[in-house]
Each structure stands twice: as C-alpha cells, then as structure tokens.
A and B are shown apart, each in its own frame.
Chain A
C-alpha cells in the first residue's frame, strides 16, 4: 500500500471546523453533514475541512491532542516504555502532516508540534525494527501488535512479510515436495 493511500483513509477522520458561511444540511452518501452557520463549530471529515480551508471558507480547530504539553507527555511515555503506547489517534501522523501543511495558521506552536510528533514516530519505528528482528530471530508464529498504526505498519510491511516468506520457504525446503507438485519440464 502507498503512504498516500493510508493518507486517503485518514482523510475520513472527523475534525471540527468553524465555517464563515451558511449552508443547510448536506446529504452525502456517507452520511449527513452540517448545517453550517458562520462562527458555529461543526464536524466534517478531514478531506472536506482541508478543501474548505483552501478556499478560505473555514478555520480548523486542531484536535485536542495536538497540543505541545500533551504531545511532550506522549513522547516521554513512548521513550520510557518498552512496548508501543496508545496513540491519541490511529492516524496521528497523517493528521499532523495534513493539518500542519494546510492549516498551520490555525494551530498554535505548529513547528514544535511537528518536531514532537516526528520524535515520537522515530522512537516507535526504532521499536518496530527491534521487534521485527526479534520476531525473525525467535522464529515466532504470531505477534500481537496493538497500538501500532496503519502508517507505521505500512512502512515496513512489504519488506517484513517478504522476509518471513523467504524464511518459511527455507525452513520447509527440507520436506519432500507435495505429491503431484513435482514438475517435469
């Protein structure tokens, strides 16, 4: 899967915007949105929030976790714990990138937030590699991966699953091939 496809999935997340226009309820296939009234907060999917922001039709309210103090705490816990700690949002990385790129004027201390999220990400990816290596070395058959996000899994999944497939084949090559599988050319 491409990172941009993971981003596509993240764009479904709901965020709060404060519109500067009025519009009746909109009946989309995926559900109803609105009504929109100037100055009144309303929940919309991220894809729509960004589009409205680009047309200067709204202000985006940053999610409650997108805050320097909270993120510092998250980063410190992540560094302290050996396991993966729960993230404030399953798409924290995508949300941070999209909101900071498109609405940084609505987010206080945008630069600090970017660094904090990136630090947390780096810590988690380092843990992910560590656990991938031990999974391979111990030749495990199953792992529980709670709290890992889709984007994190996605950065390593092709490489990792291909390696596991190779190992499986190397391990089973001693057994005689299944009947009827022998190939004569």
Chain B
C-alpha cells in the first residue's frame, strides 16, 4: 500500500528520532530526579513549591527531555532515579512471566523510555537492557498470534495491555492478515473509497440520525 504520509518511526535506543511524533510524546514522560545542586530562580518548575529557588537535594519529577538537557556526568546537577517498573522488583516479575504485565498502564512507552534511561549511566544499565529485550521476546508470540487471529473481531481487549511499540507491531500484523484475507475473498480487485471519505460519510449519517 502506498501511503501519502509516512510517519517517522520511534528511534528505540539511546537516540530519539527528532521528527518522530512517538518520540516527542515519549520524551514528555516524567522521570523522578534528585537535584544535586540548587537551581536558582527556577522555582516555577516545581508546581507545589512556592520558593524562588529550588534547593539542593529536592526531589522532583521532570520530563525526560529536560532531564536529558540537565544531566551531565561531570557537573552533577541532577541524578536520576529509576522509575519503579525498571527496578529490580519489577524486573523479577518480567522475568517470571512478561505476558501478565499491563504494559500500557505501566508505560505506555515501556521499551523506548527504558532504552532512554540507559543514557543516565545507572549501575543497573546492563540488567535494564537485558530485561527490555527479554520482555519483548517473551511477549512476541502472544502479539503475533493475537494479531494474526483477530480478523473482524473487537481487538480493543487485546490491544489494551500492549505498549505503544507493540501496538504498532500489532497493527502491522493485522494489516498483513487483512490484506491476505481480502485478497482471498476477491476483494483486492475492488476499488474502495479511502478511509478518510468513509469516515466522512459516517459522520453525515450520524448527523441525519439525530
């Protein structure tokens, strides 16, 4: 299929893709941090606080893009704490059975955000990276099977527990299946209206109904 607009995919790894909307949304996620030096006149960043300056030792949640800007191994302005889901306790849960976890609720950018954390030189980096990979491998089969069996069914329950990256994959699996099934039933030869036009029609009908 030829799409007139081709979205830039998420970077997945230490680098973000600058033009990827997924990565923009991901880098907006908050990260718990501790300030190693005070920040003068930046009190407005802390919504609860009323002081003009942010004192050293404050704990606050900052979006990833800001943390990446402030983080510097030598100057130690800020140190990063691992969000719960990437810590030892949760890593054990993932290694027991990755399929039981609702990654959407816990994420929803579990893999991309997790890879970004590797930028902050945590001593647990190796374990985090291992868990991300093993979690993906462990959940692969279920995503493949559900995306290949879900034709014409309500897929919202299946998709609900998937992380954003997995959802994109799920869609790829489904469109492969749908394309084949349409072909098999001889519908590939029919020219259909674009989805944009179709949803426009639906809206029209809806308006006349009410």
Contacts and interface: CB of A to CB of B under 8 A. Distances in A.
Interface of A: 2-4, 7, 97, 101, 129, 132-133, 136-137, 139, 151, 154-159, 162-163, 166-167, 169-174, 177, 181, 183, 185
Given A174-B126, A185-B18, 17 more contacts: A3-B188, A101-B186, A133-B144, A136-B137, A137-B140, A155-B177, A158-B175, A158-B176, A159-B169, A162-B168, A163-B144, A166-B111, A167-B136, A170-B13, A170-B133, A173-B129, A174-B118
Given A3-B180, A163-B169, A172 B13 contact: yes
B183 interface: yes
Contacts of A163: 136, 140, 144, 169
Nearest to B178: A3
A159 B188 contact: no
> What 10 A-B pairs have minimum CB-CB distances, sorted nearest first?
A3-B183, A159-B173, A4-B188, A173-B13, A170-B133, A169-B12, A174-B129, A173-B115, A133-B141, A169-B13
Interface residues of B, number: 39
B37 interface: no
Nearest to A137: B137
Contact of B18 (A154, A173, A183): A183
B97 interface: no
A5 to B, nearest CB: 10
B15 interface: yes
> Chain A interface mostly helix, strand, loop or mixed?
helix
Contacts of B133: 167, 170-171
Interface string B1-29: 10000000000111110100000000000
A177 B129 contact: no
Interface in B68-103: none
Interface in B131-149: 132-133, 136-137, 140-141, 144-145, 147-148
A177 B145 CA distance: 34
A132 B1 CA distance: 24
A4 B13 contact: no
Contacts of A171: 129, 133
A99 B168 CA distance: 36
Contacts of A167: 133, 136-137
Interface string B46-86: 00000000000000000000000000000000000000000
Contacts of B169: 159, 162-163, 166
A120 B105 CA distance: 40
A159 to B, nearest CB: 4
27 contacts: A2-B183, A3-B183, A4-B183, A97-B183, A129-B144, A133-B144, A136-B140, A137-B137, A137-B140, A151-B180, A154-B176, A154-B180, A156-B148, A159-B173, A159-B176, A162-B172, A163-B140, A166-B111, A167-B136, A167-B137, A169-B12, A170-B133, A172-B13, A173-B12, A174-B126, A177-B14, A183-B16
